[in-house]
Structure formats: C-alpha cells, structure tokens
C-alpha cells in the first residue's frame, strides 16, 4: 500500500524504505523519537557554516599569473604591450591614470590566442580652444601568432583603437621571451602611436608607397573600421622587461615608442615627456585584484587598478548545493508488482510526495501522468542553471517515490508554459550508473532527448498552480554609461514585481519602480538625432519618471507543434514602448540551428512611463537565425525592420560557457546612413551574461544580462520584449544539455 510520507525539506529523503504491501518507514521519524539523538543532530548543524567558509578559503589559495596588465588595460608592460595572452576566458577591468588621462578598459581573452578590449578614456584639456575634456571609446584586438618555445619567443600582433575615433590608434608586432620563470624580455615594432617616437621609414614601403605615409583619419563620425591606416607610416621599436621576484610582485621597465604628440602639444600640455623610459611595479593583492604604480616618461606618477575574473573558476566547482537524493534500488519482485494500481488514490499520493520532494530541492511539480510502467513528469526549474542537474535530481527523486513497476521516466522541464524538452530515462540505467566512473557520459548516451510537444498528454495538473500570484518587492538599480555630462548615471529605488499565472503559459506580469536616489533623474541629455527619437530620449524618460511602470503585459506561450514554439505578448512591453508582439520559433531539440520570426506593433510611451502614449508608432519585426557552433560559440543573425522604420540586419557572436557565462559582441547595419546615424556611425556593443551561482555557489538559475553600448542612437534599435522564445528553450536543448551533462549526477 502506498502511504503519504511525512518527509520535509531538511530531512534525508532516502530513509524511506518502501516495500510493496508494507508500511513506509522513515528513519527520520525514528530519530526524532529519541531525545538523546538531539546531541547528534546538534553536531550536524555546526557543519555547514564551516564548510562554506572553508570552500571560500580553498579557492583563495590559487596560483599567480605570469603576466600583468598595462595602463591601457591589456596584458603587457606599462604603456607597451607584450606577446603574452591572459588565461583563456579571463575578463579584466582596469582603471588607469597618469598625466591627465584616465582609461577604463575591459579586456576579454576571447579564445586562447585572441583577445579584445573595449576602452573608455577621458583626456583632460583636449579641446585646446576651450579646455574641454574629451571622452573617447576605443576597441583593440590582439592575436598570439606564435607560442613560446624553448628558444623561440612568443609573437603577437595587435590592433589598438581600430574602430574608434583613432586617438589611440596603433598597430604592433611584438615578441616576448621568458628567460626564466621570474624574468621576461619583450621587443616589438609599432606603427601609429607605437611608431611616433624615433620612427623610421616603414619597411612595408617595399610593397608600395601607400605604406610610407599614415593617412589622416577619414572624415567620419567614428566607429568605423579604419583599415586604410593600419601598418602605414613610420615605424619605431619598443622594448622592455618584467621581473617577478615573488608570485605577487612584478617590477616592470620599458622603452616606449609613443611620443604622446597630441597630449604634449602646446595648449594641452598634459605632461612633459622628458625621457622615453617608464618604470613601475605591480602587486597582486588577491587572486582577482592587482594594483600598479608607475613613474612615467621621467615626469609623471601613474597608477592602475585591475580586477580580473575568470568564468572557468567559480567559487566552488560543481557548486555548494545540497546533495541529491540517492537512487533507491528496487528489490526483486517489485518490478512486476502492480498491486498498487488497485489503490484508487495511489496516483494522487504519489503526485503529492513527488511535489514535496521536488520542492525540497528547489523545483516545482507542474503535472504528472502515471501509467503502470511509465511516468511522465512536468516540472519547473527555477534553481539549477545546469539544466541537467534539475533533470538528474528529478530522476533520482522518482526512484524514491515511484512503485517498482514504473520503469521508465519522462521528465519535461516547463518554462513559462512551454514544454522545453522531454528527457526519457530508463530506471534501470539510473540504478546501474549511479556510481559508474563514466556515469555522466553513459547516462547521456542512454537517455533519449525528444521534442515535448506531444508528450505529457493526459497529465494531471498539480493543485494550486493556476491561478497563482507571485510577487516581490525589492531594491533596483539602473546604471547608464558614457554620457559625457554624467559618465555614469545611476538610479536606485524600490521595485514591485508581480506575475499572475492564469493557466499554463498564460501570465499577467507587471513591474513598478519608484526612484529614490541617484543622478539618473537630472540633466536630461538633449538628443541631436535627425531620426525619430526612438532611443535617444532615454534620459528624458529617466528624468520624467519618478514612479514608472516598466512592464505591464499579458503573455501567452505554448508549444505549437513538434519543433515549433509560439508567443504573443501585449501591453506595456518595455519602458519606452507598448504594443503587441507575436513570435514563432522553429528549433528541433537536437539541432544546432534555429529559425524564428517576430512581428511587433509598437507605440512610443509617454516620458512619465505611466499609461499614456506619444504619437509615434511603428511596425517592426525580424527573421532570426540562431546557430550553436558546438565549440562554445553561438551566432545569431536578425534581419528586419527596426524601431525607427529602418531596414537592416544585426549580427551577434557570443562565447557561451557551459556554466552559464556568456560574452559577446553585436553590430547592426541598416539603411540609415552613417551621417544620419550620428556619432559612432552604426549600432554596436558588447553583451555579457553573469550567473549568480558563480559567486554564491548556491543553486540559483539567476543570471544578470548586461548590454554595453558605447553609444545609444536611434538607428538599428530593437524593441525589447520580455520572454523571447529562443532563450526560453535553448538551455534545455541537446547541444547545451550535453555540454553540462556532468551535472546530471550532481
């Protein structure tokens, strides 16, 4: 007979010994009957805190890196680069200052050999007539051509400031040799900035006179690739050395080939360049923080601070989440015992037990369909970013709950009403592979991963899920960058968010914000855009909306059929637009390729972000192709009509890690001319997704997406719609599931 178990969330589940026709016994209940055992239980309670702090310490004792970062925020010496690459995937933010120049740089080791940087620099007194400062954005790329060998140095080639306004533009080829683990030397040749001191005629001149002179910057608004200037003009030599007497301390010296012509020009006089030599010291405070002090060009003190983080090094590998439920082995005879079917409430009891055990591990049972030898379970997973872990934990719990005759499990993760995938697992495989050394690979091979559109028919929904109101009150903060008047605009306040689930897939959602403090509400920047101001009035929205409805929508998402998903969203879609949005996505569960189409009617909202609308309305939409290259790279191409009515395409490339981190870049070209677009020429930017669990170790699916645009203009602007389909299903589909399948047994 099946009975209700009295287990709760903090008790060891597997203590149930469920035997056909016998009582369900919980060892935990037995424990609680013996007061003496409270001593033991008390001892249990003392473990966790020490474990958590211990794990943190364990990570602190990491290794020190061979390389350091420059004032430009790139791996190198002081102002000059080296041929070294950072550790793969390292992200480093550097704030550097000397001689009236402040550079904030974000560098990312895109691939083991390729790295890129985005820089936002402030140079004082730039406009000679008025003494105004300038704010300059620049992008770099570096590629390590040759690895260091026993006798051979590493060699790298780099482009600095290759799409910006060109203030820092320069190219170089550099070689670095580590003579011993403590001492490395570097020498290189440079063009542009790196060829401005003691330059000689360009040897590339043999390929044609075009190489002899570096042309001036083409007359444009910045943001374009200036390939016509690369490796042109005079060339000069730079060199340097780094000595690392201890793991944490590095002394650096260099001979710089940058003459700082512009900065030292009469009228600017930011500093005096007495000698071409720079010296400095880098001290690594912790695994993640370096401080640097410099004496520059015989006249100036400089300093820099670098914070670096590597997505491959979370707080704890595998996370600090609690243990999963052990597999319950069936006893001989249970497999063919169908006696439980005679019990009328068996299905209800099993559903309740399953719901409770899933909840204890952070998941929600949505529906269940029980057959004599097969169970189909639909569940929601708000906790595990490694989706395989949610599936594995659900499968383990099923071995505890289900009668022995139920030998096949179908597990369907449900995301906002969409059945993302169906994973079919044979119970006997779970029993056989729980401790198999290569259990991860084998369990993936034996699991069947299928489309879920036609799965789960006849399931009984769990009571209390529909209708259901979920709400939250909490703080919010928004940060806008790169406004020269206020380089960082911050608003903080309180946010009320609520979601009301009416039926599977049908949800009303809203967010209201009350600004309390910050400089986001002052000095709106007046837009000079000649296009419809579809985005450039952002700061007016900031100023005029102390209380703002940032979202108020009704949305319906569903599986349209095999490999097809659909969504309709209507209401106040985002802070600047309301309207209606419809989307269809085709994405086979085992495919690398997906294709989607979205059509929206959007009307611009009033600046106060309450209920009113402005006159401007537009039909916008895209056809989108998604491709998972299965080497960690993801591509997306969107072709269609943008908010200002312009037609064009956006290309996005991202490196996607199997632990949830993502780094990418995007660019949009439309039929808006570079001149009409204004500063920056076209829309482009960087995109990151940061998983919270990297820092906390705890099981949470929460991620923080960040989009960094050097300039937000009106051309190539897209509507922001919550709940787009591809990201709803992607992480549950096969390429992504397979990548993190190691966590199936976590």
User: For residues 188-247, which are near other proteins according to CB under 8 A?
Assistant: none
Which window, 157-165, 257-265, 432-440, 707-715, contacts other proteins (CB under 8 A)?
432-440
Total residues binding other proteins (CB under 8 A): 88
Of 399 and 624, nearer to other proteins (C-beta) is 399
Among 104, 527, 696, 720, binds other proteins (CB under 8 A): 696
Among 205, 276, 298, 326, binds other proteins (CB under 8 A): 326
SS3 50: helix
Of 40 and 249, nearer to other proteins (C-beta) is 40
- Per-residue mark of binding to other proteins, 16-45 (x: CB under 8 A): -----------xx-xx--x-xx-xxx-xxx
Cα–Cα dist 132/169, whole Å: 21
- Per-residue mark of binding to other proteins, 497-516 (x: CB under 8 A): x-------------------
Binding of other proteins by 701 (CB under 8 A): yes
Quick one: CA torsion of 443, 447, 449, 454, rounded to 10 degrees?
A: -150
For 92, left (φ over 0), alpha (ψ -120 to 50), or beta?
beta
Residues whose CB is less than 8 angstroms from the CB of residue 616 and which lie 6 or more positions away in sequence, other chains included: 532, 534, 603, 604
Which window, 71-79, 194-202, 323-331, 459-467, contacts other proteins (CB under 8 A)?
323-331
Question: Least CB distance from residue 509 to other proteins, whole Å?
Answer: 12
SS3 587: coil
Cα–Cα dist 741/315, whole Å: 20
Which window, 131-139, 172-180, 431-439, 478-486, contacts other proteins (CB under 8 A)?
431-439
Question: Least CB distance from residue 384 to other proteins, whole Å?
Answer: 10
The residues pairing with 380 across neighbouring beta strands, listed in sequence order, are: 364
Within residues 144-183, the interface with other proteins by CB under 8 A covers none
CB 511 within 8 A of CB 572: no
Question: Least CB distance from residue 578 to other proteins, whole Å?
Answer: 25
Question: Least CB distance from residue 415 to other proteins, whole Å?
Answer: 14
DSSP string of 653-683? EEEE-TTS-EEEEEEEEESS-HHHH-TTSSE
Question: Least CB distance from residue 397 to other proteins, whole Å?
Answer: 13
Within residues 617-676, the interface with other proteins by CB under 8 A covers 657-659
Q: End-to-end distance of the chain based on CA atoms, in angstroms?
A: 32
CB 678 within 8 A of CB 702: no
Q: What is the DSSP letter of 527?
A: P
Question: Least CB distance from residue 44 to other proteins, whole Å?
Answer: 5
Which window, 204-212, 317-325, 347-355, 670-678, contacts other proteins (CB under 8 A)?
317-325
* CA–CA–CA angle 224, 661, 59 (5° rounding): 125
Within residues 702-721, the interface with other proteins by CB under 8 A covers 702
CB half-sphere exposure, 501, CA atoms < 13 A: 15
Among 50, 130, 336, 631, binds other proteins (CB under 8 A): 50
Question: Least CB distance from residue 16 to other proteins, whole Å?
Answer: 9
Within residues 249-268, the interface with other proteins by CB under 8 A covers none
Q: What is the DSSP letter of 391?
A: H
Of 260 and 741, nearer to other proteins (C-beta) is 741
Binding of other proteins by 441 (CB under 8 A): yes
Quick one: CA torsion of 128, 133, 137, 141, rounded to 10 degrees?
A: 60
Which window, 315-323, 604-612, 619-627, 635-643, contacts other proteins (CB under 8 A)?
315-323
Chain-centre distance for alpha carbon 665: 12
Of 116 and 324, nearer to other proteins (C-beta) is 324
Binding of other proteins by 113 (CB under 8 A): no
Question: Least CB distance from residue 640 to other proteins, whole Å?
Answer: 33
Q: What is the DSSP letter of 452?
A: -
Question: Least CB distance from residue 533 to other proteins, whole Å?
Answer: 34
Of 313 and 574, nearer to other proteins (C-beta) is 313
Within residues 673-692, the interface with other proteins by CB under 8 A covers 692
CB 607 within 8 A of CB 545: yes
Cα–Cα dist 497/722, whole Å: 14
Task: Compute φ and ψ for 173, nearest 5 degrees.
Answer: -125, 125
Of 202 and 310, nearer to other proteins (C-beta) is 310
Residue 345 exposed, middle or buried by CB count within 10 Å (0-12, 13-18, 19+):
exposed
Binding of other proteins by 317 (CB under 8 A): yes
Tell me whether strands 277-284 and 249-255 are parallel, antiparallel or unpaired. antiparallel
Q: What is the DSSP letter of 405?
A: T
Which window, 53-61, 203-211, 262-270, 273-281, contacts other proteins (CB under 8 A)?
53-61
Binding of other proteins by 607 (CB under 8 A): no
Binding of other proteins by 356 (CB under 8 A): no
Question: Least CB distance from residue 357 to other proteins, whole Å?
Answer: 14
SS3 343: coil
Residue 421 exposed, middle or buried by CB count within 10 Å (0-12, 13-18, 19+):
buried
Residue 625 in tokens: 């192709």
Within residues 360-379, the interface with other proteins by CB under 8 A covers 362
Among 382, 467, 612, 705, binds other proteins (CB under 8 A): 382
Within residues 461-480, the interface with other proteins by CB under 8 A covers 469-475
Cα–Cα dist 539/521, whole Å: 8
Say what angle helices 37-45 and 47-60 make with each other, to 10 degrees: 30
Of 151 and 323, nearer to other proteins (C-beta) is 323
Question: Least CB distance from residue 666 to other proteins, whole Å?
Answer: 23
Binding of other proteins by 104 (CB under 8 A): no
Residues whose CB is less than 8 angstroms from the CB of residue 337 and which lie 6 or more positions away in sequence, other chains included: 20, 403, 404, 405
Among 148, 337, 434, 679, binds other proteins (CB under 8 A): 434
Q: Which helix (H) or strand (E) holds 705?
A: strand 703-708
């Amino acid at each position: 007979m099946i009975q209700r178990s009295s287990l709760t969330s903090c008790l060891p589940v597997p203590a149930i010994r469920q035997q056909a026709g016998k009582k369900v016994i919980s060892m935990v209940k037995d424990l609680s009957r013996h007061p003496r055992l409270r001593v033991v239980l008390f001892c249990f309670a003392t473990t966790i805190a020490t474990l958590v702090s211990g794990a943190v310490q364990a990570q602190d004792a990491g290794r020190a890196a061979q390389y350091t970062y420059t004032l430009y925020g790139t791996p190198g010496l002081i102002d000059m680069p080296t041929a070294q690459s950072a550790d793969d995937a390292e992200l480093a933010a550097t704030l550097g200052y000397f001689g009236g120049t402040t550079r904030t740089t974000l560098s990312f080791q895109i691939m083991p050999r390729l790295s890129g940087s985005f820089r936002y620099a402030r140079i004082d007194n730039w406009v000679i007539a008025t003494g105004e400062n300038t704010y300059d954005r620049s992008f770099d790329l570096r590629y390590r051509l040759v690895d260091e060998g026993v006798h051979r140095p590493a060699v790298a080639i780099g482009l600095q400031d290759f799409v910006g306004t060109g203030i820092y533009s320069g190219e170089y080829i550099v070689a670095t040799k580590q003579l011993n683990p403590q001492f490395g030397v570097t020498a290189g040749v440079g063009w542009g900035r790196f060829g401005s001191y003691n330059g000689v005629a360009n040897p590339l001149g043999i390929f044609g006179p075009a190489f002899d002179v570096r042309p001036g910057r083409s007359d444009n608004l910045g943001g374009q690739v200036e390939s016509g200037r690369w490796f042109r003009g005079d060339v000069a030599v730079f060199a340097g050395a780094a000595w690392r007497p201890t793991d944490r301390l590095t002394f650096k010296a260099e001979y710089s080939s940058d003459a700082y012509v512009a900065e030292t020009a009469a009228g600017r006089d930011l500093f005096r360049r007495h000698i071409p030599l720079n010296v400095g010291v880098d001290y690594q405070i912790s695994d993640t923080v370096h401080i640097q002090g410099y004496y520059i060009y015989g006249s100036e003190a400089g300093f820099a601070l670098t914070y670096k983080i590597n997505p491959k090094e979370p707080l704890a590998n595998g996370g600090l989440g609690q243990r999963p439920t052990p597999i319950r082995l069936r006893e001989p005879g249970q497999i063919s015992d169908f006696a439980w079917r005679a019990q009328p409430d068996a299905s209800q009891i099993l559903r309740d037990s399953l719901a409770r055990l899933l909840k204890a591990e952070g998941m929600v049972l949505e529906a269940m369909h029980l057959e004599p030898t097969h169970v189909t379970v639909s569940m929601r997973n708000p906790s595990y970013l490694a989706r395989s872990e949610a599936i594995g934990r659900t499968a383990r719990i099923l071995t505890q709950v289900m009668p022995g005759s139920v030998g096949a499990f179908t597990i369907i993760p449900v995301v906002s009403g969409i059945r993302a995938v169906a994973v079919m697992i044979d119970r006997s495989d779970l029993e056989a592979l729980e401790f198999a050394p290569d259990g991860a690979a084998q369990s993936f091979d034996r699991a069947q991963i299928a489309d879920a559109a036609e799965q789960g028919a006849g399931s009984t929904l769990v009571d209390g899920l529909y209708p259901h109101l979920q709400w939250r009150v909490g703080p919010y903060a928004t940060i806008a960058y790169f406004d020269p008047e206020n380089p960082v605009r911050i608003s903080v306040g309180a946010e009320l968010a609520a979601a009301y689930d009416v039926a599977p897939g049908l949800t009303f959602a809203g967010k209201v914000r009350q600004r309390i403090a910050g400089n986001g509400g002052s000095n709106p920047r007046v837009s000079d855009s000649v296009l419809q101001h579809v985005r450039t009035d952002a700061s007016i929205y900031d100023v005029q909306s102390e209380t703002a409805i940032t979202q108020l929508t009704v949305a319906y998402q569903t599986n349209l059929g095999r490999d097809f998903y659909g969504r309709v969203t209507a209401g106040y879609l985002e802070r600047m637009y309301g309207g209606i949005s419809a989307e269809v996505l085709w994405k086979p569960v085992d495919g690398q390729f997906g294709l989607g189409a979205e059509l929206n009617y959007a009307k611009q909202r009033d600046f106060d972000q309450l209920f009113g609308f402005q006159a401007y309305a537009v039909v916008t939409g895209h056809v989108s192709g998604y491709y998972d290259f299965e080497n960690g790279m993801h591509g997306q191409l969107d072709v269609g009509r943008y908010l200002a009515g312009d037609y064009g395409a956006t290309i996005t490339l991202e490196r996607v890690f199997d632990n949830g981190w993502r780094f990418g870049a995007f660019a949009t070209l439309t039929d808006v001319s570079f001149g009409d677009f204004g500063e920056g020429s076209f829309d482009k930017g960087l995109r990151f997704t940061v998983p919270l669990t990297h820092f906390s170790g705890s099981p949470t699916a929460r991620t923080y997406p960040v989009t960094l645009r050097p300039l937000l203009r009106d051309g190539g602007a897209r509507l922001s719609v919550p709940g787009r389909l591809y990201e709803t299903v992607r992480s549950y589909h096969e390429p992504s599931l397979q990548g993190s399948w190691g966590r199936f047994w976590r």
